[in-house]
A and B are shown apart, each in its own frame.
Chain A
Amino acid sequence: GNSVTQMEGPVTLSEEAFLTINCTYTATGYPSLFWYVQYPGEGLQLLLKATKADDKGSNKGFEATYRKETTSFHLEKGSVQVSDSAVYFCALSDRDGNNRKLIWGLGTSLAVNP
């Protein structure tokens, strides 16, 4: 079945460091890909998405490119801030008829120190 593999955390960085969180997937067909963020004690917020190969999603300085050839959707940010400390989830939309259920990675915890 479809699955998402996400790099394990926790990741600890200093402010202004470069961030990469790896995400690879296995899927039949052409799923949409997502990054969600969960701040401490809060729910899930959509960070960015891409719906087809070579699409780049971007938001708040974060970027991820849908790479079909490597089945990857790595999250990057050039300069992290303390406020980026959160758990980041990679997910794909498992298209089964009209069902768009999301298949999730395990999440990567990011801590950014001042």
Chain B
Amino acid sequence: NAGVMQNPRHLVRRRGQEARLRCSPVKGHSHVYWYRQLPEEGLKFMVYLQKENIIDESGMPKERFSAEFPKEGPSILRIQQVVRGDSAAYFCASSPRVGDPTDTQYFGPGTRLTVL
């Protein structure tokens, strides 16, 4: 079984450009989480999505950031007009279903975004 796939693994953007990060969850998983790991910091929750719905985006900056998880295709984290402070590793995780008693999330390898 394929695990969580993220692409690209590395992304370089200039200030003001858009960054688009993709996440394909484990097959059959309908819950996706995005986390950000800033340099020298721990991971911070950004957004939680189910198919076609944003459930909790309390960790996502109000401007320039958006996320979606369409009925078909991967989840997308989009950052518009990137700034140097957006440079970080972005991790996607998926989990099977509501009520999974183990609450386990399975992580992708991450996308390392560098803003020049």
Contact = CB atoms under 8 A, between A and B. Distances in A.
Whether A and B are associated in the same complex: the answer reads yes
A104 interface: yes
Interface string A13-51: 000000000000000000010101000001111100101
B43 A89 contact: yes
Interface stretch (B65-73, B78-86, B101-109): B101-109
A107 B95 CA distance: 22
Interface residues of B, number: 29
Interface of A: 32, 34, 36, 42-46, 49, 51, 89, 91, 93, 95-96, 98-107
20 contacts: A34-B104, A36-B107, A44-B91, A46-B107, A49-B102, A51-B103, A98-B55, A98-B99, A99-B48, A99-B55, A99-B56, A100-B31, A101-B45, A101-B59, A102-B93, A103-B45, A104-B35, A104-B43, A105-B42, A106-B41
Given A32-B103, A49-B102, A101 B42 contact: no
Given A32-B102, A98-B55, A101-B33, A45 B107 contact: yes
Interface of A is mostly: strand
Interface string B40-62: 01111100100000011001000
